[in-house]
Amino acid sequence: MAKTRAPLDTKEQPGFRGVALFCLFVLYAPILILMIFSFNSGSIVTHWEGVSLHWYGTAIANDDFHSAAKNTMIIAITATIVSTVTATLAAIGMTRVKPWKGLMTAFMVINLPLMVPEIVTAIATLSFFALVAGKLGINLGIGNLIIAHSVFCIPFAYMPIRARLEDMDLTLEQAAADLYATPWHAFRRVTLPLLVPGILSGMALAFIVSFDDFTITQLVAGPGQTTLPLYIWNQIRRPMTPEINAISTILLMVSIIVVAISFLIARKRR
Amino acid sequence: MRDEPDTSAIAIRQVSKVFGTGEDRVTALAEVEIDIRANEFFTLLGPSGCGKTTLLRLIAGFDYPTTGEIRLYGEDIARLPPYKRPINTVFQNYALFPHMTVGQNIGFGLEMLGRPKAETAARVDTMLKLVRMEELKNRKTSQISGGQQQRVALARALAPQPKVLLLDEPLSALDYKLRKEMQLELKRLQHETGITFIFVTHDQEEALTMSDRIAVMSKGHVLQIGSAHEIYDKPSERFVANFIGETNFLEGEVLAVDGASASVRLGAGATVSAGVPDGFAPKGRATVVIRPEHAEVVAPSGAEAFAGTVSNVVYFGTDTHYYVTLDGGEEFMVRRQNSRGAQVFDTGARVGVRVDDGAARVLRD
């Protein structure tokens, strides 16, 4: 029987395997080493002494870690909700309307933050809050961070939701209207349920982006508003212990779990 | 031609639809006038781009006419949104809700109308029985075949008992055998429900076999409205004669007109008596059409309309096509059923062509 293979199968190119393995190694070896050393019983990051959960215990008992984790979760969850709702409304408003003149501009305005260097956004955000605090005397504390995160998460949440809306068969909404569904009912019973996988991807993306943001948070955060990335950053300026590895590993696990859950729910609904 | 407005289920009055502005202006429909009677199976027939789907969308409410009225039993609905029209649609791609079961799809319309749950449930079961899908009620729509999806789409559109059912080329995605089966099924459903069907297709055979009446459309205009017989036997325009079935076009000169028939001298020699479209008075040069099965190839006796030479013979099993080059130079095709004892002519034979009485028609052109 003849082999049914595409005429140009990249896998068959010479050196493919080597390049692929090298890329995977560069990407994942450092992470793997970081995770392995989080189970080190010794107190030096680069010197293996034995297997132990000691540093996880230390991390979990650490009050600073607790408060950083709490701040991170408050910010990330609030920002995820706010940005996903905003992004969903924006995506609907931009795909379910008659094309208008400013549509392309609006699309660019929403997505531009993805292209602006983050440090620029960070400094702009910092100046903005400084101005608001100076001129109006308003300082929302951790609210500043929540606002900043909500805003920069919007384009991340927006992309998968818009993609899903654009892929959706428009005749489904017409069919709903044809079957006596008012615009609200058509949205509630047809568009929204079909949009759920896109919304979940958007939420997961927004959560991850907020969860591990460093640059903007570093500039905007006031005293007592330390998040996990900031906490880790502060720790490595001191003599490092495997506690950092343990905390980083916990962070990584949270990310993986969030992505996996959203992926599984999205796949189940398909 | 026009019926009394009150007897029409749908009356299309001077409906035009223009897309775009300035140089991009495209007239999709130009002052269309159609009356569709209650309980009839009405077909909009035409090639792609003729405006038939645009007209269907205007009736459904997915788009609004630029000018004109669409009356549903006398009431102008042209500006109502689709969810306020008692009209349902079977979409070309079915547009079944993928996140609902077959039963939920069928019940959707009734649910949106706010009917009691028990009534909806009973109606869903009735519809499932009507389209013979009882055992698939709880399946997801992705788990059933194309033909079954078609039936669900029909049941879903029929469940709310609309006054008019619109069908947008619903059979085009099915294979030949299934399509034949569904044609009969659609006729049966129309008969059993008594609902007015407006069916859109580009398939002339489908239109002829299923419809009570047909409107033939081209480039945004309705060219002719009539029963399958009228459209086929008495085409009034070249486009209609050409689009539906095969036919012979012969050029000639009008000698005299007497009411519904005209005497035309054809370039091919003979003078024939040809039917004339309603309200049309031909004069000067005119085109006459004769269907291939309305003529007969015989041994030449001099008494036939035309004489000529057989240029080609194509055997089709049930019938044979004779291509005859008439003495005037024109090609003429005759279709003859292969009955026993029929005389056979070979290529090159001299023959006479006899034309049935009343078979010739003058085109409005």
A181-228 pLDDT per residue, tens: 999 999 999 999 999 989 999 999 999 999 989 999 989 888 888 899
| Neighbour tally for B338: CB within 10 Å | 12
Whole-number Å distance between alpha carbons of B57 and A53 = 68
Please say whether the beta carbons of B198 and B190 come within 8 A.
Answer: no
Show Cβ contacts of residue B290 under 8 Å, excluding neighbours closer than 6 positions. Answer: B247, B248, B250, B332, B355, B359, B360, B361
Tell me if B112 and A179 make a contact (CB, 8 A cut-off). yes
pLDDT of residue B159: 93
Whole-number Å distance between alpha carbons of B312 and B333 = 9
B154, burial (CB in 10 Å: exposed 0-12, middle 13-18, buried 19+): buried
CATH number at residue A206: 1.10.3720.10
Tell me if B156 and A179 make a contact (CB, 8 A cut-off). yes
With CA atoms as reference, report the closest residue to A270 among A184, A197, A178: A197
Partners of A190 on chain B (C-beta within 8 Å) are 97
Partners of A189 on chain B (C-beta within 8 Å) are 108
Chain B residue whose CA is closest to A169: B95
Q: Which of A172, A174, A178 best probes binding to B when mutated, by most B CB atoms within 10 angstroms?
A: A178
Mean pLDDT over each residue of chain A, to the nearest integer: 87
Residue A148 lies in a domain: yes
Give bridge partners of residue B62 from the DSSP assignment: none
- Edge-to-edge order in the sheet of strand B306-315: B295-298, B350-355, B306-315, B319-326, B331-337
Q: Which of B53, B91, B120, B154 best probes binding to A when mutated, by most A CB atoms within 10 angstroms?
A: B91
Token pair recorded at residue B216: 């033939």
pLDDT of residue B1: 45
B155, burial (CB in 10 Å: exposed 0-12, middle 13-18, buried 19+): buried
| A7 confidence band (pLDDT: 50, 70, 90) | low
pLDDT at A1 over 50: no
Residue A12 lies in a domain: no
Is B5-233 a domain of CATH 3.40.50.1010? Answer: no
Token pair recorded at residue B50: 């003729």
Token pair recorded at residue B117: 């749950």
pLDDT at A144 over 70: yes
Please say whether the beta carbons of B105 and B141 come within 8 A.
Answer: yes
Partners of A171 on chain B (C-beta within 8 Å) are 91, 93, 95
- Helix ranges (H only) for A12-117 are 16-37, 54-61, 63-95, 103-111
Q: Give A129 or A238, the one with higher predicted confidence.
A: A129
pLDDT at A103 over 90: no
pLDDT of residue A6: 59
pLDDT at A154 over 90: yes
Please say whether the beta carbons of B312 and B351 come within 8 A.
Answer: no
Whole-number Å distance between alpha carbons of B115 and A52 = 65
Please say whether the beta carbons of B192 and B6 come within 8 A.
Answer: no
Residue A41 lies in a domain: no
| A270 confidence band (pLDDT: 50, 70, 90) | low
Check residue B255 and report its DSSP letter.
E
pTM of the full predicted structure? 0.80
With CA atoms as reference, report the closest residue to B274 among B286, B216, B332: B286
Give bridge partners of residue B213 from the DSSP assignment: B42
Residue A32 lies in a domain: no
Q: Which of A179, A185, A189, A192 best probes binding to B when mutated, by most B CB atoms within 10 angstroms?
A: A179
Q: What is the DSSP string of B338-358?
A: --TTPPP--TT-EEEEEE-TT
pLDDT at A265 over 90: no
Partners of B91 on chain A (C-beta within 8 Å) are 171, 174-175
Tell me if B83 and A182 make a contact (CB, 8 A cut-off). yes
Tell me if A169 and B99 make a contact (CB, 8 A cut-off). no
Please say whether the beta carbons of A72 and A211 come within 8 A.
Answer: yes
CATH of domain B246-363: 2.40.50.140
pLDDT of residue B224: 92
Which run of H or E residues covers position B154? helix B146-158
Tell me if B108 and A182 make a contact (CB, 8 A cut-off). no
pLDDT at A25 over 70: yes
Average pLDDT, stretch A166-171? 90
CA–CA distances in Å: residue B283 to residues A98, B86, B250: 51, 47, 15
To the nearest whole angstrom, how far is the Cα of B83 from the nearest Cα of chain A? Answer: 4
Tell me if A185 and B109 make a contact (CB, 8 A cut-off). no
Give bridge partners of residue B354 from the DSSP assignment: B296
| pLDDT mean by block of 10 residues, chain B; 365 residues | 63 92 87 92 92 94 93 92 94 92 94 93 91 88 88 92 93 83 88 92 90 94 92 90 90 85 81 82 85 89 84 89 88 87 83 87 85
pLDDT at A267 over 80: no
Q: Is the dihedral of CA A111, A114, A120, A125 positive or negative?
A: positive
pLDDT at A244 over 70: yes
Say which range, A133-142, A143-152, B330-339, has the weakest mean pLDDT. Answer: A133-142
Residue A85 lies in a domain: yes
Show Cβ contacts of residue A173 under 8 Å, excluding neighbours closer than 6 positions. Answer: A96, A186, A190, A191
- Helix ranges (H only) for chain A are 16-37, 54-61, 63-95, 103-111, 118-131, 142-167, 170-178, 183-186, 192-211, 215-220, 228-235, 242-269
pLDDT of residue B268: 67
| A3 confidence band (pLDDT: 50, 70, 90) | low
Q: How many helices (H) and strands (E) does chain B have?
A: 8, 20
Partners of B83 on chain A (C-beta within 8 Å) are 177-182, 186
| Neighbour tally for B327: CB within 10 Å | 13
pLDDT of residue B3: 45
With CA atoms as reference, report the closest residue to B204 among B177, B223, B231, B178: B231
Whole-number Å distance between alpha carbons of A213 and A118 = 10
Full residue range of the structural domain in which residue A260 is found: 63-267
pLDDT of residue A240: 79
pLDDT of residue A153: 93
pLDDT of residue B33: 93
The segment(s) of chain B belonging to CATH 3.40.50.300 are: 5-233
Q: Which residues of A60-99 are buried (b: 16+ CB within 10 A; e: fewer)?
A: eebeebeebbebbeebbebbbbbbbebbbebbbebbeeee
pLDDT of residue A40: 84
A35, burial (CB in 10 Å: exposed 0-12, middle 13-18, buried 19+): middle
| SS3 call for B7 | helix
Partners of A185 on chain B (C-beta within 8 Å) are 112
With CA atoms as reference, report the closest residue to B152 among A133, A175, A237: A175
Partners of B164 on chain A (C-beta within 8 Å) are none
Count up the domains in chain A and report the number. 1
**ipTM of this complex:** 0.81
Average pLDDT, stretch A76-101? 90
Of B82, B99, B113, the CB nearest to A178: B82
CA–CA distances in Å: residue A222 to residues A64, A82, A179, A208, B176: 15, 22, 55, 22, 72
Whole-number Å distance between alpha carbons of B56 and B73 = 17
